[in-house]
Amino acid sequence: MPDLATLALFTAATLALLLVPGPAVAYIVTRSVAQGRSAGLVSVLGIHAGSVVHVAAAALGVSAVLAASATAFTIVKYLGAAYLVWLGLRKLLTRADAGETAGTPLASRRRMFWEGFVVNVLNPKTAIFFLAFLPQFTDPAAGPIAPQIVLLGVIWIALGVASDGAFALLASALAGRLRRSARARRRLDVTSGLVYLGLGAATALTGESAAAKA
């Protein structure tokens, strides 16, 4: 297993990376703003359940296959982009009159969890990131690589849940007053939809050469 100095360095590097908002944070903040604290926290759990899949894939070498295959990378990338675009369109097409009278229909916790899960699992850049980042902190002399990657992945997920949870709590607190207004709720839905569309476009248009570079 990695020594304490390596684990401390990994923890510091992970915190530095997690504190820079990315697509997962944008998704969590959007959910928190639209539906409140519990929605944001459930989304955090969904996102990092997806992280478990990426850690397992890195430990088993599946991420290496994805990185080496331009076709596989492209398929996963466009699936993720399409899913984000679908989420965005669903938000934008919510009927304004329904929002004015009874409020925008709220997503169930189960749906929010699985949406976060799918968003993260279908992010090929996350898979490539785990493939490139975690192995730098492993040591073949310390034992098998796969268990070391699992340990580092568990640390990553624990820190990610803490940092993303903080984003969710902050966003939900700041947006609490806005959600009390039907008009503001509709504006939040439109903003959320645009954020999802933007994330979908970013997923589709970036990372074209990631597989080739890996």
**Segments making up each domain of the chain, as ranges:** 35-213
For the chain, 214 residues long, give each residue's pLDDT as a single digit of tens: 777 888 888 898 888 878 877 777 878 888 888 788 899 999 999 999 999 998 888 888 765 555 555 665 676 667 767 767 777 777 677 654 444 434 445 668 888 898 889 888 877 667 767 777 777 788 878 778 888 888 999 999 999 999 999 999 988 887 766 565 556 566 666 766 676 677 667 666 665 444 444 3
* Residue 208 CB coordination number (10 Å): 12
pLDDT value of position 69 = 58
Three-state secondary structure string covering 157-196:
HHHHHHHHHHHHHHHHHHHCCHHHCHHHHHHHHHHHHHHH
pLDDT value of position 97 = 43
Q: What residue type is assigned to position 108 of the chain?
A: S
Residue 211: both structure tokens together: 């597989």
CA dihedral of 44, 185, 21, 82, whole degrees rounded to 10: 80
Residue 107: both structure tokens together: 């997503």
pLDDT value of position 65 = 57
Residue 92: both structure tokens together: 């934008």
pLDDT value of position 41 = 94
pLDDT value of position 98 = 43
Query: How many angstroms separate the CA atoms of 212 and 88, rounded?
Result: 30
Query: How many angstroms separate the CA atoms of 166 and 170, rounded?
Result: 6
- Residues 6 or more apart whose CB falls under 8 angstroms from that of 165 comprise 40, 41, 44
